[in-house]
Amino acid sequence: MNKRQLIQSFLAASALSFGLGSLHAQALTPIKFQLDWRFEGPAALFLHPAAKGYFKDAKLDVTIDAGNGSGGTVTRVASGAYDMGFADLAALMEFHANNPDSPNKPVAVMMVYNNTPASVMALKKSGIAKPADLAGKKLGAPVFDAGRRAFPIFAKANNIGAVNWTAMDPTLRETMLVRGDIDAITGFTFTSLLNLEARGAKAADIVVLPYPDYGVKLYGNVIIASPKLIKENPAAVKAFLSAFTKGAKEVIANPVVAIESVKKRDGIIDSALETRRLKLAIDTVINSPDARAEGFGTVNAGRLSLMASQVSDAFNTKTRVSPEAVWTAALLPPAAELNILKK
């Protein structure tokens, strides 16, 4: 082979290699994913598998952004700005029932928080020790807070008399309770409990009334996907859920290590605090007795139907929530793959 043939052969091999590289890059399906909240402990459920390369191994190019509430996440997936997201199932149900003609209503494809993390929290000095004590009291929460939205369900289950609501920015909720501006707050237990401690409240002085402990068996957060993605590329959704499940198993087994992935995305977080938050989430809503009974990732049909009815009533929606429209189990990994909860 002469010099000219050698150069041509080298160029051809380089072109082939470049072409194969391009094909590999093109093979990754882009997925824009939005969380329900900031990069805090529970975000490790998604940031850990991303950091470990599990999504890329599944031929997905996943971009994960922080959120500012479940309602916003549902709306952005519905608008097409995001392909998938993490949101409270009640917020998804509300969107469906209030936007019956929307052409792109997101669908829940995997259950993650088998129980709602919502609770009422108060300080012992308020005299609040049980749900009935809330009657006539001043409660505070942002207007979009999941616990506030679902409070009528909690109130009905516990025969609570009328309460007075005060709205505020999420950053002021726990501060106003500690200052005594309000008697109690609603919020996610693993968020507000630790925020109260950070604002000087002692754990022994905080009263927590978790919704699931007081007759409210609402589901919590789910992974949602746009119907467009589900229709056009169901394999990508399946691949995402499989990679997520693999990562979630590791997060549940070792929260301390998993928090490192959150720290990489937000360097100013307190790793010890966010590890506590993640462990609280795992113990109360992810690896809960209900979750172990039903199995990770899926739902109980009867419980889903009851929640749909409760949300329709409590949120006074335009139309009734259809449980069949908001949920599909068709894209879940096999049962053996979903067996990730520690007994």
SS3 340: coil
Q: Do residues 79 and 155 touch, judged by C-beta distance below 8 A?
A: no
Q: DSSP secondary-structure letter at 105?
A: -
Residues β-bridged to residue 330: none
Confidence of residue 20 (pLDDT cuts 50, 70, 90): very low
List, for residues 313-337, the tens digit of each pLDDT value.
999 999 999 999 999 999 999 999 9
- Residue 223 has φ and ψ, to the nearest 5°, of -85, 130
List, for residues 62-81, the tens digit of each pLDDT value.
999 999 989 999 999 999 99
| pLDDT for 3 | 53
Domain ranges of the chain: 23-115+219-338, 118-214
Q: Do residues 115 and 189 touch, judged by C-beta distance below 8 A?
A: no
For range 201-221, the mean pLDDT: 96
List, for residues 23-55, the tens digit of each pLDDT value.
445 689 999 999 999 999 999 999 999 999 999
| pLDDT for 24 | 47
- pLDDT of residue 250 exceeding 50, the answer is yes
How far apart CA 23 and CA 229 sit, in angstroms, is 22
| pLDDT for 266 | 96
| pLDDT for 8 | 59
How far apart CA 168 and CA 341 sit, in angstroms, is 37
Query: What's the predicted TM-score (pTM) here?
Result: 0.90
Q: Which two tokens stand for residue 1?
A: 């082979």
Query: Could you write out the three-class secondary structure of 261-321?
Result: HHHHHCCCCCHHHHHHHHHHHHHHHHCCHHHHHHCCECCCHHHHHHHHHHHHHHCCCCCCC
Confidence of residue 342 (pLDDT cuts 50, 70, 90): confident
**Residue 79 is which amino acid?**
S
Q: Which residue has the tokens 């929260």?
A: 255
Q: Do residues 111 and 299 touch, judged by C-beta distance below 8 A?
A: yes
List, for residues 110-154, the tens digit of each pLDDT value.
999 999 999 999 999 999 999 999 999 999 999 989 999 999 999
Q: Does domain 118-214 have CATH number 3.40.190.10?
A: yes
Q: CB-side exposure of 60: number of CA atoms within 13 Å?
A: 28
Q: Which of 75, 74, 90 is nearest to 188 (CA)?
A: 90
So what's the architecture of 23-115+219-338 in CATH? 3-Layer(aba) Sandwich (3.40)
| pLDDT for 211 | 97
Same fold, 23-115+219-338 and 118-214: yes
The rounded percent of the chain whose pLDDT value lies above 70 is 92
How far apart CA 310 and CA 290 sit, in angstroms, is 19
- pLDDT of residue 17 exceeding 80, the answer is no
Confidence of residue 276 (pLDDT cuts 50, 70, 90): very high
| pLDDT for 16 | 52
**Residue 274 is which amino acid?**
E
| pLDDT for 23 | 44
How far apart CA 239 and CA 55 sit, in angstroms, is 8
Confidence of residue 7 (pLDDT cuts 50, 70, 90): low
